[in-house]
Amino acid sequence: MRPSGPRRRQAAILVCTLAIQAVGTAATLAFAVLAPLIPGARTAEVGLFLALVYGGAMVGSALSSALIGRLGAVRVSQAALLLQGAGLALLTADAGLAQNGAALLCGLGYGTITPASSHILARTTAPQRMYTVFSLKQTGVPLGGMLGGAMLPVLAAWSSWRTALLLLAGLALAVALASGWLRAQLDEPAAPRTAGMGQWRQPVVEVWRNAQLRAMAAVSLLFSACQLSVSGYLMVFLLRELQMGAARAALIYAVSQAAGVLGRIVWGRIADRTRAPRGVMMLIGVLMALAALGLALLPAHPDPVVLAVLAAVLGATAIGWNGVFLGELARLAPAGKVASVTGGAMFFTYIGVVLGPPAFGYLAERASLGAAYGALAALSLIALLLLGLRGRGPAARAG
């Protein structure tokens, strides 16, 4: 049963989970954003840091179901932000091991945030609004990226990079404390205390053994590889391969990110209206493949309008798919298993995050960035095939 509740309460829950997602995302990207301002920080350290972050996120997502069962989803969300705050504070220390430990803490916290929020929203959202609400919550990812990108360099210029990290840690603490009002309403009546931590592998096994969930997890692995490759390399492609000026390249990049935010909302709304989430994800895959192929085939001096359209479509698809995916996981999950299924599926999602960008960069070095974007089109088509093979799922559960 999902209690409908007053609309104001539902809106407050959505705002709370969105804020947790945004701050959590900003924390994972903080070092990457501030690295150019940190004396002695090498470019290679950014890649290692992010790999450790998402490696930790894989572990966190696998543990999330057991943690939520024992502590409750709100407490897990609060603990995630506290872990990330500790990681940000540790990052201010001048030591390599401290940097690695900070990455793991940020990743462990980040890996639990999505399963916990999915557990909360699945219990408090009416089925006819499921995909829209999940998509709105997932706008916290690009919004968190924008928050970190806009706020941290300014704070670093105003004071220092250490101050910027500590202030973001303080914001994580503030959001964790502000979320406390949800605990009595959601954790106590809904979170049994009998789950065992020894069962951390079970969510991954459950997803792997279920054909439909396995297909969705594989699609998320492929789509997440595309997403991080677009976010991580589009600016490099614009500056180095297309020889664009910095100002115009920044504008095109901003278009792709803004389209990602809008795409998350629009795709969720379409999925709710059509009640065909798999069809929506297949459409996303087709458009993603066409946009990536379009970038791969661009001439040396492309028409700016054509380039902006391709960047917008790629952003709306490669960055905008997550909410529909999470809503579909919630629909397919057995009763009471939303957190477990989400955590198990996200384990595979983070594999794509960890492996995708390095593979993209390797192909770009061996061939070209254009060829690498052509490879993203191939990944999108493979995902499309997986969605088509598993296109007929069980009927949506009644609310």
Distance (Å, whole) CA 63 – CA 199 = 8
Helix (H, G, I), strand (E, B) or coil at 93: coil
Burial of 149 (0-12, 13-18, 19+ CB in 10 A): middle
HSE value, Cβ hemisphere, 13 Å, CA-based, for 272: 20
Angle at 114 between CA 52 and CA 260, to 5 degrees: 85
Does this chain's domain 1-188 share its CATH topology with 201-399? yes
365: Cβ–Cβ under 8 A, 6 or more apart, which residues? none
DSSP 238: I
On whether the CB atoms of residues 151 and 161 are closer than 8 A, the answer is: no
Place of tokens 């999925």: 271
On whether the CB atoms of residues 216 and 269 are closer than 8 A, the answer is: no
Q: How many helices (H) and strands (E) does the chain have?
A: 17, 0
Burial of 389 (0-12, 13-18, 19+ CB in 10 A): exposed
Query: Which fold would CATH assign to domain 201-399?
Result: Growth Hormone; Chain: A; (1.20.1250)
* Secondary structure (H, E, C), 147-200: HHHHHHHHHHHHCCHHHHHHHHHHHHHHHHHHCCHHHHHHHHHHCCCCCCHHHC
Q: From 187, 142, 110, select the one nearest 347 (Cα to Cα).
A: 110
Instruction: Tell me the residue length of the chain.
Output: 399
Place of tokens 């309460």: 9
Helix (H, G, I), strand (E, B) or coil at 252: helix
Distance (Å, whole) CA 204 – CA 345 = 7
Domain ranges, ordered by start, for the chain: 1-188, 201-399
DSSP 201: T
- Start-to-end CA span in the chain (Å): 6
Q: From 63, 187, 79, select the one nearest 115 (Cα to Cα).
A: 63
Distance (Å, whole) CA 26 – CA 31 = 9
Q: Which residues of the chain have pLDDT under 70?
A: 1-6, 43-44, 95-96, 188-200, 390-399
Instruction: Please give the pLDDT value at position 43.
Output: 63
The predicted-structure confidence for 79-119, as pLDDT tens digits, reads as follows 999 999 999 999 988 766 788 899 999 999 999 999 999 88
On whether the CB atoms of residues 378 and 226 are closer than 8 A, the answer is: no
Choose the CATH number for 1-188 among 1.25.40.10, 3.20.20.70, 1.10.3720.10, 1.20.1250.20: 1.20.1250.20
Instruction: Please give the pLDDT value at position 392.
Output: 47
Instruction: Please give the pLDDT value at position 1.
Output: 38
